[in-house]
């Protein structure tokens, strides 16, 4: 199997590439624009192997994307390339519209033309996995979970752009017969995550004994899924997923943001004690505009149809993640020192 992975130098994409090559025995063509959050060092374990190739392209480049399909002749696509940080979408939505909507359209069209030219046998095996987020569903109250049939109510420019791309993907299945599968996942965490997201930002700030910002009162709840468990689910879709269907992946690990931050503090205090308890570094800052209160995933469809389930508890997965960042300063130093210094994002300019 040869899989074309878009966004394979990103956090989730690199995990998918590593598992495809090292565990699934697949050949991978990784297509990535290499924007600020991408890091080819995340792929060091498969770089140079005969089953892995990297191509630097923007998925909005129709000519380049079309050439990739005809040159590499993939048997499947896992589409992960996206702008993904809500805070950045609040102050710079144009990139999200371009990559998440226009880029997805460009990729779907190239895939459709390529698929139409395949033999009947290869058409029966081809899959286009479109990877999305639970944020398209909007905000939950204190009970219930997102299911595959939950209506979309996106709150941010990021989630709105992903909702649009989901609709495009499913329309290309219904109108053109392209065998698309859409996945929606809860918050991912684990090694190799760019340090603008909650967990790596908190870990690195806590390592350096810097303030630990928590939005609002820290009561916003997310369901946390280890990136390797998510990657395993996406690969299952290649073999067991049904075309035209949606599948939710979640970790059954709901935690408030404040709980996550305090747990990181406690893990670091145990692994690398400092002059004071790190909980004292927590500071509450103005909330993100339109901040959804709670996300939770019902992953029963993925469990029953794919035989998938998360394999890591949040406590063990978080401890392992903290240890990885402690041991991987060479990986995150460039991002921390040259790309993103940890400054607050997502507050639009005040109008006078």
Q: Record the tokens describing residue 310, joined without a space.
A: 């998360």
State the chain's mean pLDDT as an integer. Answer: 95
- Using CA of residue 152, residue 154, residue 159, residue 162, what is the dihedral sign? positive
Average pLDDT over residues 334-347: 73
Share of the chain above pLDDT 70, in %: 97
CATH topology classification for 1-193+223-252+293-311:
Rossmann fold (3.40.50)
Name the residues annotated as catalytic. 134-135, 158
pLDDT in tens, 278-306: 999 999 999 989 899 999 999 999 999 99
Query: E strands along the chain, which residues?
Result: 2-6, 27-32, 52-56, 76-79, 127-133, 180-185, 187-189, 212-215, 221-226, 246-249, 254-256, 282-285
Terminal alpha carbon distance of the chain: 57
Q: Give the helix ranges, DSSP H, for 73-219.
A: 86-91, 94-96, 104-116, 120-125, 157-176, 198-207
The band of 351, judged by pLDDT with boundaries at 50, 70 and 90, is very low
Non-local (6+) Cβ contacts of 277 within 8 A are 265, 269
pLDDT of 346 reads 67
pLDDT of 336 reads 80
pLDDT of 209 reads 95
pLDDT of 322 reads 98
Residues paired with 212 in a beta bridge: 282
Return the domain boundaries, the chain.
1-193+223-252+293-311
Say if residue 256's pLDDT is above 50. Answer: yes
Say if residue 352's pLDDT is above 50. Answer: no
The band of 349, judged by pLDDT with boundaries at 50, 70 and 90, is low
Average pLDDT over residues 40-64: 97
Return the biggest CA–CA distance within the chain.
Answer: 66
> 96 — alpha (psi -120 to 50), left (phi > 0) or beta?
alpha
pLDDT in tens, 185-244: 999 999 999 998 999 999 999 999 999 999 999 999 999 999 999 999 999 999 999 999
pLDDT of 345 reads 75
Q: Is 178 within 8 Å of 108 (Cβ atoms)?
A: yes
Rg (CA), the chain: 20
Average pLDDT over residues 50-63: 98
Half-sphere exposure (CA, 13 Å, Cβ side) for 341?
2
Query: Which residue matches tokens 């998360």?
Result: 310
pLDDT in tens, 93-115: 999 999 999 999 999 999 999 99
pLDDT in tens, 136-185: 999 999 989 999 999 999 999 999 999 999 999 999 999 999 999 999 99
pLDDT of 342 reads 72
Say if residue 7's pLDDT is above 60. Answer: yes
The band of 337, judged by pLDDT with boundaries at 50, 70 and 90, is confident
191: nearest Cα among 7, 14, 341, 334: 14
Say if residue 335's pLDDT is above 90. Answer: no
pLDDT of 343 reads 74
173: nearest Cα among 268, 73, 79, 243: 243
Say if residue 347's pLDDT is above 70. Answer: no
């Amino acid at each position: 199997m040869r899989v074309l992975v878009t966004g394979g130098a990103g956090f989730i994409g690199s995990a998918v590439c590593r598992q495809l090559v090292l565990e699934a025995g697949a050949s991978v063509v990784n297509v990535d624009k290499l924007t600020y959050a991408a890091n080819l060092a995340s792929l060091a374990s498969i770089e140079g192997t005969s089953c892995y190739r990297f191509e630097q392209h923007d998925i909005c480049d129709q000519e380049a994307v079309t050439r990739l399909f005809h040159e590499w002749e993939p048997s499947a696509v896992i589409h992960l390339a996206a702008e993904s940080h809500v805070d950045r979408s609040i102050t710079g939505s144009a990139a999200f519209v371009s990559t998440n909507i226009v880029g997805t359209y460009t990729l779907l069209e190239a895939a459709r033309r390529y698929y139409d030219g395949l033999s009947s046998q290869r058409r029966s095996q081809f899959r286009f996995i479109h990877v999305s987020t639970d944020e398209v569903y909007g905000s939950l109250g204190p009970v219930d979970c997102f299911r595959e049939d939950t209506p979309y109510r996106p709150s941010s420019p990021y989630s709105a752009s992903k909702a649009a791309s989901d609709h495009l993907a499913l329309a290309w299945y219904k109108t053109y017969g392209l065998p698309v599968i859409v996945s929606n996942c809860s918050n991912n965490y684990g090694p190799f995550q760019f340090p603008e997201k909650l967990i790596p930002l908190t870990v690195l700030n806590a390592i350096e004994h810097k303030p630990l910002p928590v939005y609002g009162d820290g009561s916003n709840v997310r369901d946390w899924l280890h990136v390797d468990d998510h990657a395993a689910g996406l690969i299952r879709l290649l073999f067991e997923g049904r075309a035209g269907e949606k599948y939710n992946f979640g970790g059954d690990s709901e935690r408030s943001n404040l709980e996550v931050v305090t747990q990181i503090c406690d893990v670091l205090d145990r692994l690398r004690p400092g002059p004071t308890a790190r909980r004292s570094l927590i500071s509450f800052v103005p909330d993100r505009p339109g901040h959804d209160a709670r996300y939770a995933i019902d992953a029963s469809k993925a469990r029953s149809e794919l035989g998938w389930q998360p394999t890591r508890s949040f406590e063990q997965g978080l401890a392992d993640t903290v240890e990885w960042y402690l041991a991987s300063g060479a990986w995150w130093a460039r991002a921390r020192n040259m790309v993103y210094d940890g400054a607050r994002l997502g507050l639009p300019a005040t109008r006078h």
